[in-house]
Every structure is written in C-alpha cells, then in structure tokens.
Amino acid sequence: MPPPTLPPLPSRGASSTMPLTVKQISEAQQSGTTGEKGAPFVVDGVETANVRLVGLVSGKTERNTDVSFTIDDGTGRLDFIRWVNDGADSAETAAVQNGMYVSVIGSLKGLQERKRATAFAIRPVTDYNEVTLHFIQCVRMHLENTKSQIGGPAKTYSAMGSSSSNGFSEMTTPTSVKSNPAPVLSVTNGSKTDLNTEVLNVFREPANVESEHGVHIDEIVKRFRLPEAKIKVAIDYLADIGHIYSTIDESHYKSAFNE
C-alpha cells in the first residue's frame, strides 16, 4: 500500500520546524534588503525561524539560568543557548554531555554576520540511524525547495519542504517512513483517515499544545484503545518527519507546530 499522507498544514513560518545542517544555516540570508534585526532567515528561498539539527555536543557550559553548548554536525559549528526555567529543563540539559550526539530544536536569532540559536528542546541520540536520516531529510528538502522555487519569492516553510497545497510529496517522504505505514482507521465519504493523522490531531489540540511537557504515550493509547505498539509506530513516524518531538523523556511528546 502507498505511504500515508498527512493533511496540508498552513504556512506559519516560525511555527514550523525545518531540518537543516550547520552549513545551510551559515549560508542563510535574512529576508529583506537591509537584514534588519529580527528579520527571518531564508534557506533555499524559504523563510524559517525554527530549525532542527543533529550533531555532536562540545563546549557545554552550565550556569544558574542557562546552559550553552556548540553543535558540530560535520558541516560546521553553531552555538546554542538553552534557558533553564524549572526542574524539567535542568533534567533535560543534565542528560546532555560533551561528545554526545543530540537532536536539537531551536530558533535562529541575530544578524546576518552573527547568527546564534536558542534551543527549546534537546535530547540525546540513542539510535545513530537518526543521524543518517536527518541528513537525508536535509538533502531531500533542499532538492525539493530549489526545484520548485527557483526564480520565485521567499516562501514560508511548511512541513518537510513540500508546498502547503500538496502536503507530503513522494520525494519528501523518508525511506524509513515509507516502509512502516500506519493502519487505516476509517473511511469517510471515500476519504481514508490513517492513524498518523489522528494521532497528530491529538498533539495539535490547544490544551496539548499549551502543555509544557506535551502528551504521554499512555494517554494516546487510552484515547484510541489500540495496542501500544501501533501507537508507537505512528509516533515514530511523526517524530521522524519533525511534526512532534520528545520533551522530558522518550514517553512525552509535543507538537512542533504552535497553534
């Protein structure tokens, strides 16, 4: 059966999470002609503020209110700061050590000549296939954006580099995701609703978006009354394509889209 498709997501710029390499970030240009402070950065003609990187941690420095560190992904180095507001933040940053591969979601700040990033989610990489998958996602997104947007104005990033009118194209679906499609839940007016979409809708509910730690997997299992293994397949799919990310542990997840 073909891989499941997700419904188109609205273009929200800073609300979307874009997989990038440090080199892509270093070459990003601020939108506008003056590069004024606060202007969004543009990568391959697409405006983006929230980014996801995977790389090696170095130079970790802990203070009372924040933790700073550098991510090296083999294409370059980028400095991050993670603000520490409570015990959950402290536990998250304590799990990260120098020499460890991590996945980081954050936002780009600063001016063209001096970029920096603020992290709002960071977790250790436990499966090194994730490093390879991340680079595949970066390459595919770059190819898709440069193919579809040559000569056009800067657009707002929506999902994995696909346009908001087309949802997820065949090119932008990771290979690991294609091999593990979610089961169909129902058919309404001839339209199939897959488990991935239904689970994503739970994470995008206003109360869950506002929740600091997100939603526990057990809550999703209770909601759908399905085996935990099936729910985990859907959650893994959504995490692979950057729609959700883990928060305080590998059982809590939160939507990457702020609604």
| Domain spans of the chain, in order of start | 17-146, 192-255
Average pLDDT value for residue range 123-136: 90
Label residue 16 by pLDDT band (50, 70, 90). low
Cα-Cα-Cα-Cα torsion 18, 168, 246, 185, nearest 10 degrees, comes to 170
Average pLDDT value for residue range 189-212: 78
Residue 5 has pLDDT above 50, yes or no: no
| pLDDT the model gives residue 20 | 92
pTM of the model: 0.53
Residue 18 has pLDDT above 60, yes or no: yes
Tens-digit pLDDT profile for residues 44-99: 888 876 889 999 999 999 998 999 999 999 999 999 999 998 888 899 999 999 99
The CATH class, in words, for 192-255 is mainly alpha
* CA distance to 24, 54, 108, 117, 144, per residue, from 68 (Å): 21, 16, 15, 10, 33
Decide if 234 contacts 201 (C-beta within 8 A): no
- Polymer length in residues for the chain: 259
The backbone torsions φ and ψ at residue 170, rounded to the nearest 5 degrees and listed phi first, read -60, -35
* CA distance to 7, 117, 130, 184, per residue, from 53 (Å): 25, 11, 11, 32
Secondary structure in 3-state letters for 33-70: CCCCCCCCEEECCEEECEEEEEEEEEEEEECCCEEEEE
| pLDDT the model gives residue 36 | 57
86-90, 103-107, 110-114: which range is least confident on average? 110-114
Q: Specify the higher pLDDT residue, 114 or 145.
A: 145
Of these ranges, 31-45, 173-187, 243-257, the one predicted with the greatest mean pLDDT is 243-257
Q: Where are the alpha helices (DSSP H) in 100-227?
A: 129-149, 175-178, 195-203, 206-210, 217-224
Please state, for a pLDDT cut of 90, what percent of the chain lies above it.
24
Nearest residue to 213 via CA among 88, 91, 90: 88
Query: Position of tokens 């609604």?
Result: 259
Average pLDDT taken over every residue of the chain? 74
Give the architecture-level CATH label for domain 17-146: Beta Barrel (2.40)
* Count of CB atoms situated within 10 Å of the CB of 17: 26
Decide if 167 contacts 159 (C-beta within 8 A): yes
Nearest residue to 223 via CA among 234, 211, 238: 234
Average pLDDT value for residue range 143-152: 66
Residue 181 has pLDDT above 70, yes or no: no
Decide if 178 contacts 3 (C-beta within 8 A): yes
